[in-house]
Each structure stands twice: as structure tokens, then as C-alpha cells.
Amino acid sequence: MAVHTFEPTRFHPTIGSHEPVLRIRDGDTVVTWCVDAGGHDREFKSVTPGGNPQTGPFYVEGAEPGDTLAVHFDRMWPNRTVGFTGKLVAPWVIDPGFVSYLPYERNAGQRPSPPTEPHVDLWDLDLEKGSIRLHTPRLGLEALQELKIDPMLGCFGVAPPRGQAISCATSGQYGGNMDYRGFTQGVTVYFPVFVPGALLHVGDGHAIQGDGEIVGTGVEISFDVQFTVQLLKGKKSNWPRGENADSIFAAGNARPLDQCVQHATTELMLWLEQDYGLDYRASSILFGQCIRYDLGNIFDPAYTMVARIEKRYLPPKRS
């Protein structure tokens, strides 16, 4: 149960079977940091090209395809005081006939790079108070002068199978760029293991984000991250699962959103059967009246929906 401090020097714009930067064991903790989505560090200096560059991958000893890797995020918190956001709702998030009324520049809907005004909006954080405000006050948006931050990781996951290396713009069964507000500190995320060592990547911190990440960004910012891994040998899973104090949930990543819902609902039913002994009739009764769906992103190549159930509705977990 060692604690590793890892100082990254290289960042990957894909999640894949890259050379591990560190080998860790079941129960180990890693203290590290990640650049922002545009490749800027805590000094807001560009240290790598943009596109949600990842810290890692971390090789977990003993992890094999067919296992599940649990990653508890002990801490994730911005480590600088300036963040940036996209300027307009993406054209695919509004009515096609309405697109002409928004002042899009060329490359509408691309993630902004470089992250400097006037290409983005800047935000100022007060890390002691945990507050954030829009850098340039704007009439009618006075409320944005005093928001609470709610830090989350937008993009992280394990290496996909078949030697794939997949752009950090998108997501899949292996995780990736899900941009779900529920991936905050204190959450445990469970990934199916597809390759030996699992190969965990982390990146893309957001100080705050609306549902859907519809301007293509949260408040993009570099993060300090600390996580602890647990290896669940022989435990089967198909999609990222998560657990916090109140709920368990599963994320589906695909297009259209309908298919995300299918993946997430199915994975949650399988989980309830596996760990809580509820057959599909029982989980149907429960879900029908108690399930919650959260929207991750509706911006990236694969969208994300999360199916969630509060723990208070569940029977005791089977040992």
C-alpha cells in the first residue's frame, strides 16, 4: 500500500497501450498532477499539445483482461487560479434552423486553442474560498461573479483492447472523455480491464462544468490528483461504473444519447444482479420508479449518459 509521488514529463493525447510511466500494486496510492485540456501546466505554460493530454499510463501489477480496476479519487483539485471556457454552445446542441443566428466563426464546435482571449472566456479562481468568477464581468451575468467550484475530471480511463490508441476527444467502454460532473473527488470509478496492467490514464480537469459540456469545455484548468487503486480479480464489468456516498452508477458512451442510455441501463442491471442479487424483474421494478439519468457530455464524438440509483434503495451488497 505504497504512496507514489509521480511527476509527469510526457503527456498522451490518446488513451492506449503506451509505455507505462509507473508500476503500482493493488492498494497503492499515486499523487500526481495533470495539465489542462490545452496542455498548460500550473503556471499556465504550454508544455504539450492540446487535446486532453493524459498523465500516465500507470501499470497495475496483476491486472488482466476480465478483471475490474477500482480507482478511488482521494483528491482532485485545481492547482492554479486561471481557467478558460469555450464561447458558444456547439451547433449540434441547438436546432439546426437556429444555427444561423449564433455568431460562429470557422471551425465552430472545435475545442478552443490557444486558450487566450478573445478565443475563450477566462475565469478566475479563489482556491481558498473554492469560488470562481468570470474574468470579464458581463451585463446580465452578475451571478457568474461568485460561483462555487465543483472540480471533476473530464477524461480518464484504461487502455482499450486490440492495441488501440483512441483520441482523448472521445470515449468508450474503457472510459475516456466522458465529461460527467459526477466524477469528483471521493468517487470510486470501476473500469473493465482490457490489457495487462490496465494502464490507467488521467487528465482534463474542470473547475466547474454544466451538464453536457455544451460549449465544449468546463472551466479548463490544471489539477493536482491523488488516487488509490484496488484490483478486483475476476470481476466482470463492461462499462465504467462509479460509486459515491449516496449512489452507484454506470456510464454509457456512444451516439446518439439513446444508445448511451441503453449501455448505462444494461450495465447497472448487470451490476445489481452481480453484487446485489436482484434479477431483471426486480431491477425493472426498482428502476421504473427510482432510477436517475444524468447527462455527461453531448459535445464529444461519443456522448455520455449515466444511469444512477441511490444506495438507500438497494439491499445489502453480497460479499
- Of residues 265 through 284, those in contact with a copy of itself by CB under 8 A are 265-266, 269, 276-278, 280-284
Quote the crossing angle between the two packed helices 257-276 and 280-290, to the nearest 10°.
Answer: 120
Give the residue, chosen from 129, 236, 255, 317, that forms a contact with a copy of itself under the rule CB under 8 A.
255
Query: How far, in Å, CA of 84 to CA of 180, rounded?
Result: 18
87 is a site residue for a copy of itself (CB under 8 A): yes
- CB closer to a copy of itself, 204 vs 213: 213
User: Could you tell me if 42 and 16 are in contact, meaning their C-beta atoms sit under 8 angstroms apart?
Assistant: no
Give the residue, chosen from 95, 118, 128, 319, that forms a contact with a copy of itself under the rule CB under 8 A.
95
Binding segment toward a copy of itself, per CB under 8 A, in 3-11, 91-99, 183-191, 192-200: 91-99
- C-alpha cell read off for 85: 471556457
Q: What is the smallest separation between the CB atom of 16 and a copy of itself, expressed in angstroms?
A: 7
104 is a site residue for a copy of itself (CB under 8 A): yes
- CB closer to a copy of itself, 32 vs 283: 283
Give the residue, chosen from 47, 88, 122, 232, that forms a contact with a copy of itself under the rule CB under 8 A.
88
The set of residues, in sequence order, having a beta carbon less than 8 Å from that of 59 and lying 6+ positions away, is 20, 22, 23, 24, 197, 198, 199
Q: What is the smallest separation between the CB atom of 160 and a copy of itself, expressed in angstroms?
A: 8
- C-alpha cell read off for 179: 465529461
288 is a site residue for a copy of itself (CB under 8 A): yes
Q: What is the smallest separation between the CB atom of 235 and a copy of itself, expressed in angstroms?
A: 19
Q: In terms of Cα–Cα distance, which of 182, 175, 185 is closest to 306? A: 182
- CB closer to a copy of itself, 3 vs 285: 285
- C-alpha cell read off for 128: 481558498
- CB closer to a copy of itself, 9 vs 312: 312
Query: How far, in Å, CA of 245 to CA of 157, rounded?
Result: 21
Buried-exposed string 151-185: b where 16+ CB fall within 10 A, e elsewhere: bbbbbbbbbbeeeeebbbbbbbbbbbbbbbbbbbb
Q: What is the smallest separation between the CB atom of 2 and a copy of itself, expressed in angstroms?
A: 31
